[in-house]
Amino acid sequence: MAYMQMSLYSETLGMSTEAGIVLPLNALPSAERGGKYPVLYLLHGLGGDHTEWTRNSAIERYAESRGLALVLPRADRSYYTDMKQGGAYFTYLSEELPGLVQRAFAISGRREDTFAAGISMGGYGAFKLAMRHPERYAAAVSLSGGLDIVRRVTGPNGFLPGEADRIFGSADELRGSGEDLFALAVKAAAAEPPPRLYQCCGTEDFLYDANRAFLDQAVSAGLNITYEEGPGGHDWDYWDRQLTRMLDWLPL
């Protein structure tokens, strides 16, 4: 694999930011993809950054064997949201960044070659990408995602004082909006074609109950979702064990 640290100025965010780019060196992109690599956008968790994937897991090695490119954006503490007070991170992630990396690297822009995955806050972001833009993402993965965002902002959570309001506004504004995955599940199930979802969570994770609640909503809505659970907490010991299962599941 080749790992590149990309520094760029985002017109959407109005500031400089960073992203990691990982390209397989020992796998040529196929002709059927126009000589370009399928791509997985990997989203970091709250309090982390784009480097945590390569520092804490063997994701580079796993992706190399599958001929898969990785894009690791930095999104700070935004919850991958166009914040009420702050940057338009969802627009940056869903619109600006894909265009930049597709122009700079041999990365496919086809829906069937484009996937998103994330841990914790990033799991929320990955599912939001796929459910708001099912025409662009064939599949998305949530590893221990903060999927019940309404419960997160109204109960015990990891937000700084006033942070949730700056990101989402009030709970009433959030509930049923385009940031509420429970509402998005119903809309995404009616999309043609709907995205495929893979969700997993450790049974000792503090987000376990919220993950089960989202699973129930997704199944009720009729989404194509695969769910797995097992022993584990909210940590890289659990997530690293799940990565090969996640990549084997992707429709590559």
Say if residue 90's pLDDT is above 70: yes
The helix (run of H) or strand (run of E) holding residue 71 is strand 69-73
**Percent of the chain clearing pLDDT 70 (strictly above):** 98
Q: What is the pLDDT of residue 155?
A: 78
DSSP labels, 85-138: SS-BHHHIIIIIHHHHHHHHSSB---GGGEEEEEETHHHHHHHHHHHH-TTT-S
Q: What is the pTM of this model?
A: 0.96
φ/ψ bin of 143: left (φ > 0), alpha (ψ from -120 to 50), beta (otherwise): beta
Average pLDDT over residues 214-221: 98
Say if residue 63's pLDDT is above 70: yes
What is the 3-state composition of the chain as percent helix, strand, coil, each rounded to the nearest 5? 40, 25, 40
Domains, the chain, ranges and CATH?
2-249 (3.40.50.1820)
Quick one: pLDDT band at residue 111, thresholds 50, 70, 90? very high
Say if residue 35's pLDDT is above 90: no
- Under a CB-based contact definition with an 8 Å cutoff, are residues 179 and 128 in contact? yes
Q: Which of the residue ranges 15-19, 66-70, 108-112, 150-154 would you say has the lowest mean pLDDT?
A: 150-154
